[in-house]
């Protein structure tokens, strides 16, 4: 017979593999460009892919991501049980559909939508906040166009006002659906939208102003209430009715539990829609987001499709059709498992760990803190002195310890500010915080020692190509700085 990977004849008459790592299947690389002609035994297919994935980073140590990386085993079990359910087949999976509707109603009421008892909220489950933002933006655009058409006015130049710190999905929406994106630029020391400048940019073609509850750059909440108040004044003077959308991808599941008195949601008259990410602080694995509207009047009927080729009339407003039910079920599990008290405890714990990390990093004396104490539980910090190394060097060297901390620059016009960010999620314990602090300190010590080593002190035993010289200097300086250490792990900073 032929080997699945190599196509070579196997020895003997056996058609199975006794020992995976003794088989011919692991003697060659995996196919990369063409599908192999023959099958591969399931044990081998699993093992070789599993081994290649070992080179991925550890999700639990990925502090760059806001996305949930841990759930209870019981919820993992529910997810596995529902992996083969296509949510859109509502007639065959009516309970999954009902669970999604329950989540929409719970979220809308959590965000103070004006819904009477017995009424249903208006919203949809999405793949994530990116799809949710696309849907909200389309609703604003269509409402604006319909009004302009009815008034006999041009409707071909819509725009949307945001801060320059918005997530890239807003840029995608603007480009894909032909809407001008007007960005309020940042400035040093002020890294969120300026409400005054934002409202000044609004004109008769503005379909909405987008505020962010939790900037991805430094976790700061934008002042949605001030935007609302200023915009109400402008609407009153001009006769416009420019609304607000709140991007609550990061903070939408935080503010209701940590800052219940903060006015940013449907309590404000001009906030017409909100998106939240279930897979961030909604505490579900990647693959679920939500968009909710204040009322039915805020979602144009013509955007809702009705299909019946799966056996029943199905109203749908999504950018895709097929979608797994497992993450919607997982969201409902978290809602009933934790309840409001449970979510509050999780968010309080995240905040406490973020503040603990903030105080300890600030105490090192090496960093300026760019994040706020009120906001998404994260730490954004930048080096005070970049003369010898920068944030990118710190991030690169922390990878030796397994940590994934992003180093990046601020949005326009604050690109000259570079920073590091550590997102504190539910599974980031105080023990991990202490370990991270230790590794940051060791990394800084290592980089300082490496910077003072003179190239003349590093005499190679043989000629070294110029392009390898920098790497060699780094290795040699590390050896010199560690030569007196008795640490068995002297080859790294961890």
**Domain residue spans in the chain?**
1-56, 64-452, 455-494
**Residue 334 · residue 290 · CB < 8 Å:** no
Residues 6 or more apart in contact with residue 6 via CB below 8 angstroms: 24, 25, 27, 28
SS (H, E, C) the chain: CECCCCCCECCCCCCCCCCHHHCHHHCCCCCCCCCCCCCCCHHHHHHHHHHHHCCCCCHHHECCCCCCCCCCHHHHHHHHHCCCCECCCCCCCHHHHHHHHHHHHHHHHHCCCCCCCCCCCEEEEECCHHHHHHHHHHHHHHHHHHHHHHCCCCCCCCEEEEECCCCHHHHHHHHHCCCEEEEECCECCECCCCHHHHHHHCCCCEEEEEEEECCCCCCEECCHHHHHHHHHHHHHHHCCCCCEEEEECCCCCCHHHHCCCCCCCCCCCCEEEEEEECCCCCCCCCCCEEEEECCHHHCCHHHCEEECCCCCCEEECCCCCCCECHHHHHHHHHHHHHHHHHHHHHHHHHHHHHHHHHHHHHHCCCEEECCCCCECCEEEEEECCCCCCCHHHHHHHHHHHCCECCEEECCCCCCCCEEEEEECCCCCCHHHHHHHHHHHHHHHHHHHHHHHCCHHHCCCCCCCCHHHHHHHHHHHHHHHHHCCCCCCCCCCCC
Tens of pLDDT, residues 2-11: 344 444 444 4
Region 251-261: mean pLDDT is: 98
Contacts of 445 (CB under 8 A, 6+ apart): 493
Tell me what the mean pLDDT of segment 357-383 comes to.
Answer: 97
pLDDT tens, position by position, 200-231: 999 999 999 999 999 999 999 999 999 999 99
Which residues lie below 8 Å from residue 211, measured CB to CB, with a gap of 6+? Answer: 193, 222, 223, 224, 227, 244, 245, 246, 247, 264
pTM of the entire predicted model: 0.87
At 304-348, the pLDDT tens digits run 887 765 556 667 788 887 889 999 999 999 999 999 999 999 999
Work out the percent of the chain whose per-residue pLDDT is above 90: 76
Residue with tokens 């999700």: 59
Distance (Å, whole) CA 204 – CA 242? 8
14 pLDDT above the threshold of 70: no
Tokens linked to 107: 């979220």
CATH class of the 64-452 domain in this structure: alpha beta
The backbone torsions φ and ψ at residue 416, rounded to the nearest 5 degrees and listed phi first, read -75, -10
Of 210, 240, 241, 214, which is closest to residue 227 (Cα–Cα)? 210
Percent of the chain whose predicted confidence (pLDDT) is above 70: 86
Q: What is the pLDDT of residues 143-175, one digit of tens each?
A: 999 999 999 999 999 999 999 999 999 999 999
Tell me: the pLDDT tens digits for 56-68? 999 999 999 999 9
**Residue 87: band (very low, low, confident or very high) from pLDDT cuts 50, 70, 90:** confident
CATH code for 1-56? Answer: 4.10.280.50
């Amino acid at each position: 017979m032929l080997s699945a990977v190599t196509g070579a004849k196997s020895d003997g008459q056996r058609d199975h593999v006794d020992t995976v790592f003794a088989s011919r299947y692991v003697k060659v690389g995996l196919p990369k460009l063409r599908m192999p002609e023959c099958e591969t035994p399931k044990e081998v297919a699993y093992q070789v892919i599993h081994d290649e994935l070992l080179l991925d980073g550890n999700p639990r140590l990925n502090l760059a991501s806001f996305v949930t990386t841990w759930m209870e085993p019981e919820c993992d079990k529910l997810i596995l049980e529902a992996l083969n359910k296509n949510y859109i087949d509502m007639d065959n999976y009516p309970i999954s559909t009902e669970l999604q509707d329950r989540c929409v109603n719970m979220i809308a009421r959590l965000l103070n939508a004006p819904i009477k008892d017995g009424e249903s909220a208006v919203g949809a489950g999405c793949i994530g906040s990116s799809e949710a933002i696309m849907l909200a933006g389309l609703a604003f655009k269509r409402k604006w166009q319909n009004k302009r058409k009815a008034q006999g006015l041009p409707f071909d130049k819509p725009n949307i006002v945001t801060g320059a710190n918005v997530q890239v999905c807003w840029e995608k929406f603007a480009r894909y659906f032909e809407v001008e994106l007007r960005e309020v630029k940042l400035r040093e020391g002020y890294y969120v939208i300026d409400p005054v400048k934002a409202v000044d940019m609004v004109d008769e073609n503005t379909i909405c102003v987008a505020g962010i509850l939790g900037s991805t750059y430094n976790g700061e909440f934008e002042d949605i209430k001030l935007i609302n108040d200023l915009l109400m004044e402008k609407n009153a003077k001009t006769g416009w009715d420019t609304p607000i959308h709140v991007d609550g991808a990061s903070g939408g599941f935080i503010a209701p539990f940590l800052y219940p008195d903060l006015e940013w949601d449907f309590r404000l008259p001009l906030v017409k829609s909100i998106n939240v990410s279930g897979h961030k602080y909604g505490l579900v694995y990647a693959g679920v987001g939500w968009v909710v509207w204040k009322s039915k009047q805020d979602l144009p009927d013509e955007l809702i499709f009705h299909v019946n080729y799966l056996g029943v009339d199905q109203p749908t407003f999504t950018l895709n059709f097929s979608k797994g039910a497992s993450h919607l079920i997982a969201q409902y599990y978290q809602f009933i498992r934790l309840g409001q008290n449970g979510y509050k405890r999780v968010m309080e714990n995240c905040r406490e760990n973020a503040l603990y990390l903030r105080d300890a990093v600030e105490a090192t004396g090496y960093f300026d803190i760019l994040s706020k104490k009120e906001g998404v539980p994260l730490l954004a910090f930048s080096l005070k002195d970049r003369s010898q190394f920068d944030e990118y060097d710190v991030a690169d060297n922390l990878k030796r310890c397994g940590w994934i901390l992003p180093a990046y620059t601020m949005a326009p016009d604050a690109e000259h500010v570079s920073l590091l960010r550590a997102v504190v999620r539910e599974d980031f314990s105080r023990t991990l915080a202490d370990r991270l602090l230790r590794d940051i300190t060791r990394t800084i010590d290592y980089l300082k020692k490496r910077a003072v080593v003179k190239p003349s002190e590093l005499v190679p035993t043989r000629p070294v190509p110029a392009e390898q010289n920098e790497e060699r200097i780094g290795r040699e300086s590390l050896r010199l700085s560690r030569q007196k250490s008795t640490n068995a792990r002297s080859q790294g900073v961890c």
